[in-house]
Amino acid sequence: MTQDLERELSRLRWRSRRGMRELDRLFERYLDRAWRQAPESERAVFLRLLEVEDDKLWHWFMGHDTPADAELAQLVESIRSLPP
């Protein structure tokens, strides 16, 4: 991986810290297991996901609600299905 991608991944790790252990672990899992192989379009959706408020994220990832945006909904489900 190039240094630029490593720097971007490092920045994303910092931005992904939410202060909720469960959300932090979900985002870390995605960054560790899927981000490097993800197409640019999915990476863009992940950036949009990071802009969402924590309470909405919590409801989405716990399955209590679903994002209206189909791309966000698909990424949330993908992240939820990553093995621990």
Q: Is the pLDDT of residue 1 over 80?
A: no
Per-residue pLDDT tens for 23-66?
999 999 999 999 999 999 999 999 999 999 999 999 999 999 99
Q: Cβ contacts of residue 33 below 8 Å, gap of 6+? A: 82
pTM, full prediction: 0.93
Which CATH architecture group holds 3-81?
A: Orthogonal Bundle (1.10)
Confidence (pLDDT) at 45: 98
Let me know if 57 is exposed, middle or buried by CB neighbors in 10 A (0-12, 13-18, 19+): buried
Give the residue among 55, 59, 35 at the shortest CA–CA distance from 46. Answer: 35
What is the pLDDT, as a whole number, of residue 2?
Answer: 86
